[in-house]
């Protein structure tokens, strides 16, 4: 099954990858190991998953401007996410990090994607056109 969402464009780019979905808030400063790209937040449902080359989808950014430095560092090491998607409006500090890292970034989809997308689904983010497409890989009851 494939579903398309309209999204607000923040940082342009067009990528496809496996989704890592965090239903709550997320911070690059403290929730991810910047040397391995592994989610380390103790309360995260995706703890232990690496976000390298993944489409990172979460509700909203938490924390300070230090998260942008972690994103830039990870991207320079080649272990950053392929794209960022947030349900809530953009965090401008993180947007700056995404711009400097050239990581596509979208937000405010036209549907509540946290109910629609699961970790492991294949997601295409077209941040140049403001479209996100999801191909479900996980079987689940409808």
- Identify the active-site residue in 27, 37, 44, 64: 64
Q: Are 26 and 54 in contact (CB under 8 A)?
A: no
User: Could you give the 3-state DSSP secondary structure of residue 77?
Assistant: helix
Note if 64 is an active site residue.
yes
Q: Are 19 and 49 in contact (CB under 8 A)?
A: no
The alpha carbon torsion through 131, 19, 17, 95 (nearest 10 deg) reads 60
The alpha carbon torsion through 136, 140, 141, 142 (nearest 10 deg) reads -20
Residues serving a catalytic function are 64
């Amino acid at each position: 099954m494939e579903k398309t969402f309209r999204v607000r464009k923040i940082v342009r780019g067009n990528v496809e990858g496996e989704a890592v979905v965090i239903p709550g808030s997320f911070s690059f400063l403290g929730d991810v190991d910047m040397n391995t790209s592994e989610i380390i937040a103790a309360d995260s449902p995706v703890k232990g998953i690496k976000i390298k080359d993944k489409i990172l989808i979460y509700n909203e950014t938490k924390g300070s401007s230090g998260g942008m430095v972690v994103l830039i560092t990870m991207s320079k090491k080649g272990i950053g996410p392929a794209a960022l998607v947030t349900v809530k409006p953009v965090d401008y500090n993180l947007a700056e990090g995404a711009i400097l890292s050239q990581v596509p970034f979208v937000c405010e989809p036209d549907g509540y994607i946290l109910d629609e997308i699961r970790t492991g689904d294949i997601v295409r983010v077209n941040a140049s056109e403001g479209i996100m497409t999801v191909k479900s890989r996980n079987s689940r009851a409808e």
